[in-house]
Amino acid sequence: LAKTTQPISMDSYEGQEVNITCSHNNIATNDYITWYQQFPSQGPRFIIQGYKTKVTNEVASLFIPADRKSSTLSLPRVSLSDTAVYYCLVGAYYGGSQGNLIFGKGTKLSVKP
Amino acid sequence: GAVVSQHPSRVICKSGTSVKIECRSLDFQATTMFWYRQFPKQSLMLMATSNEGSKATYEQGVEKDKFLINHASLTLSTLTVTSAHPEDSSFYICSARASGGVTDTQYFGPGTRLTVL
């Protein structure tokens, strides 16, 4: 299972763009990259998933370079409600190695007014 | 879509009693469900993988006789904490992976806060 490394914490202000980078040097060919958001006393919420290049949805963008050894979650114009812990995980195809998602420590994002 | 529910959301019990937690996928079928435990200020720790119609696979260090898992249908998995003790107090979270999915996208329930007195 590919191990991920993220900054423990980040601070930002309302309205700014926040980029959280995750390193996964041992990512396997079949691994996808998935980001989750977790508020205190709640289950993680799926944000975005990608394999390579760039993926964008209504809440975030995910940038993955060609070597896939890292990925960057981009949150545009954050608000106070974006204060949460963000987890980067890598996991295999369902039909592949059946790798389960292993949570690291995540990045605690604090958005200030 | 992809909604997972858990019941109860919060439970307080006496030491020595058993507690059952339900995890349901509301709008999709899940051949695989996962159970996690999260202690305060820590990350989620995978406890076991629950496959519909077969025995659960437990992570190293997790007692299968203490944490009984049943995945009787494609939309329901249950975790029973038997003979609970104060050290079992934690936040228990389930997740479900859609059947036929290509990637390992898991959708999580809201969690169950267990307090053992």
pLDDT tens by residue, B41-81: 899 999 999 888 888 999 999 999 999 999 888 899 999 99
Name the residue in chain A with its Cα closest to that of B45.
A103
| Whole-angstrom distance, CA of residue B108 vs CA of residue B97 | 9
Mean pLDDT of B14-31: 93
User: Percent of chain A scored above 70 by pLDDT?
Assistant: 90
Q: Grade residue B28 by pLDDT with cuts at 50, 70 and 90.
A: confident
pLDDT at A14: 97
User: Percent of chain B scored above 90 by pLDDT?
Assistant: 74
Mean pLDDT of A73-88: 97
CA distance A108 to chain B (A): 11
- A40 touches B at CB < 8 Å: no
A60 token code pair:
């975030």
| A98 pLDDT higher than 60 | no
Q: Which helix (H) or strand (E) holds A49?
A: strand A45-50
CA distance A77 to chain B (A): 25
Residue A5 DSSP code: B
| A41 pLDDT higher than 50 | yes
| A95 pLDDT higher than 60 | no
Strand A61-64 relative to strand A9-13, pairing:
unpaired
Chain B neighbors of A101, CB-CB under 8 A: 34, 46, 104, 106
| Tokens 């900054």, located at residue | A7
Chain A neighbors of B56, CB-CB under 8 A: none
| Whole-angstrom distance, CA of residue B62 vs CA of residue A43 | 21
| Whole-angstrom distance, CA of residue B94 vs CA of residue B105 | 13
pLDDT at A96: 43
CA distance B12 to chain A (A): 16
Task: Return the closest-CA partner of residue A103 out of B11, B37, B73.
Answer: B37
pLDDT at A97: 40
CA distance B43 to chain A (A): 5
Instruction: Show Cβ contacts of residue B54 under 8 Å, excluding neighbours closer than 6 positions.
Output: B71
Q: Do B36 and A103 touch (CB under 8 A)?
A: yes
Interface of A with B in 43-72 (CB under 8 A): 43-46, 49
| B10 pLDDT higher than 80 | yes
- A106 touches B at CB < 8 Å: yes
Residue A80: strand, helix, or coil: helix
pLDDT at B32: 87
pLDDT at A100: 66
